[in-house]
Amino acid sequence: MLTQVDLNDSLCSYVREVSLRDSPLLRELREETAALPLATMQVSAEQGQFLGTLVRALGARNTLEVGVFTGYSLLCTALSLPPDGRVVACDRSPEWTDVAMRYCVRAGVAGKVDLRLGDARETLGTLRSEGRDGTFDFAFVDADKVSYEDYYESVLALLRPGGTMLFDNVLWSGLVADDAATDPDTRALREFNARRRHDDRIDLSVLTYADGLTLAVKR
Ligand code: SAH
Ligand code: CA
Phi, psi dihedrals of residue 105, rounded to the nearest 5°: -65, -50
Mutation to probe ligand 1, out of 92, 116, 155 (largest number of atoms < 8 A from CB): 92
Assess if residue 145 is contained within a domain.
yes
User: Residue 115: what residue type?
Assistant: L
Assess if residue 1 is contained within a domain.
no
Provide the pLDDT for residue 2. Answer: 82
Assess if residue 16 is contained within a domain.
yes
Number of DSSP helices (H) and strands (E) in the chain, helices first: 8, 7
User: Residue 157: what residue type?
Assistant: A
Domain of residue 138, residue span? 9-218
The count of domains in the chain is 1
Mutation to probe ligand 1, out of 68, 126, 150 (largest number of atoms < 8 A from CB): 68
Assess if residue 106 is contained within a domain.
yes
Q: How far is CA 78 from CA 17, 53, 62, 71, 124, in A?
A: 24, 11, 10, 10, 19
Percent with pLDDT over 90 in the chain: 98
Segment 185-213 shows an average pLDDT of 98
Shortest-distance atom of ligand 1 to CA 168: 1
**Maximum distance among all alpha carbons in the chain?**
51
Mean pLDDT of the chain: 97
User: Residue 180: what residue type?
Assistant: A
Assess if residue 4 is contained within a domain.
no
Assess if residue 212 is contained within a domain.
yes
Question: What distance in Å separates the CA atoms of residue 160 and residue 135, rounded to the nearest whole number?
Answer: 5
pLDDT score of 187 more than 90: yes
The CATH number for 65's domain is 3.40.50.150
Sorting pLDDT into bands at 50, 70 and 90, what band is 1?
confident
pTM score, whole prediction: 0.98
